[in-house]
Amino acid sequence: MAGDGFKEGLQENLGTLLDASPDCILVCDFRTLKYLYVNQTTCEMTGYSRDELLLMTSDELTGETREQLRMLYEKARQAGEQGYTDNPRLLVNKNRSRRGWWEPHFRYRIIDGYEVILVVSREVSGRVLAERAAERTKKIYAALSATNEAIIRLSSPEELYQAVCDAAIDSGGMTTAALLMPKPGSDFMEIQAVAGLGRDVLEDTVISINPDTPEGQGLNGNAFRSRRPCVSNDYFRDKRTVPWRQLVRSRTLLKAVASVPIVQEDKAIGTLHLVSRERNAFDEEIVSLLVRMADNIAFALRTFENERERREAETKAHYLATHCSLTGLPNRNLLADLLEQAIASVNRSGHNPALMFVDLDNFKEVNDTWGHDVGDRVLEKVAGRLKGVLREHDVLARLGGDEFVVLVQNIDRREHAVRVAEKVLTAGQEPVDVGGQTLSITLSIGVSLYPDHGSDQKALMKAADLAMYQAKERGKNTWAISGDGGMRNSA
């Protein structure tokens, strides 16, 4: 019958049909691991002739140990009719050239009493590369998420730089991650943060943003100047990497590099430098994610700067609200708070505060004769002298005009207050030189003591103010203690 003839011809030409298969087909002796049959595709993919392959054992061809192969073949035997499919392998031919990823399927058979393993290996390069690309993308998404979390959590550029590099290593699967910025006043870039392998290599690497130097023609220099990502997916075949190849080749796991600019207001301020141990690691999707990461860094830096400016403005506003703009001394508001704190701490510390109102005698004449600019310089100089005779923990404040107040934090007895008043009075008696003019200045001082003259800040302030007017009535250039007839008059 015609059908029987076709079957006989089919069997005779079975080898030809198997040779035409795009899959690698091999038959191996289960016991000896020697190849009993290989098709033409196997020869073409491996680079060996059929005769060479039939003299080889499977461990010689695959590079796996005999123990590993026996375990694989045993799995196939246990799997029965269904057989066993193993993970894809990178096929490298006789000349060490890569021939893509192949997924082997193993089946156990007994033919004429011989135990054999049928191996059918199918190329799955497209699938494997797609899966690996998807996995890389997944990792970069994780790194992007970690970066965004760091932006929310951290409050300084230095912390953020390191967090971004750490995320690129821990979540993004990079080998090396660094953030580079030009050194102030220089064309050379310096490391702001780094993570992963290769720190020592980066520290020894000269990177410039100057296009007229070889060190400025690399990925980072080009990315910085163009404000666009620069990628090398095969580092050692990229002419842009020539100046650094010798340094890098033996010291780090580097196959692909991406440099992504960090741009603020259309101006590059640095680059994100990422290294992968895989060739072709940076596809279009991953690069777009890295650009988003760099943009988020730039956004965070603007946020940090705005927050810094806000805090500085807040600090300045608070300072102006609590200090004299001319002398920098505490003003009435801050003095009231400090006096309240001193009174509140009496029971705990056992130290009684004293208050001294200090007024410049005849200061109006200085302003009228020499002008307010000279008057301001006199106030500044007097303030400096008074601070010079006080202890560090005592407070000198200015209420306005020519009125100063001294808060002495701890007075153990009346004589102590007198000594301080004498020192302040003496400090004010020395002539003041302003713009070549020598002016004589004297002081009138009124003193109030806690708790003798008041148990709160308002009472103490009022008592010291009245005592100061008492000193003026007694001839100025003297001091008076509230409610006390005793005084010292240097006139």
CA distances to 34, 93, 420, 443, 457 from 448, rounded to whole Å, are 110, 100, 12, 16, 11
Query: Where does 124-191 have alpha helices with state H?
Result: 125-153, 157-170
**Token pair of 460, please?**
């103490």
Partner residues linked to 85 by β-bridges: 105
Contacts of 313 (CB under 8 A, 6+ apart): none
Query: In this structure, which amino acid lies at residue 221?
Result: G
Query: In this structure, which amino acid lies at residue 442?
Result: T
Per the CB < 8 A criterion, the answer to whether 69 and 89 are in contact is no
Q: Are strands 478-481 and 443-449 parallel, antiparallel or unpaired?
A: parallel
> Where do the DSSP E strands lie in 147-244?
176-182, 189-196, 230-232
CA distances to 164, 213, 290 from 219, rounded to whole Å, are 20, 13, 15
**Token pair of 228, please?**
């666009």
Per the CB < 8 A criterion, the answer to whether 116 and 36 are in contact is yes
**Is-cis flag, bond preceding 22, omega within 30?**
no
Residue with tokens 């002298």: 385
| Active-site residue flag, 51 | no
Q: Which of 402, 412, 465, 484 is the catalytic position?
A: 402
Number of C-alpha atoms within 13 angstroms, CB side, residue 388? 10
Per the CB < 8 A criterion, the answer to whether 366 and 318 are in contact is no
H or E segment to which residue 257 belongs: strand 256-264
Residue with tokens 């690698």: 24
- Active-site residue set: 402
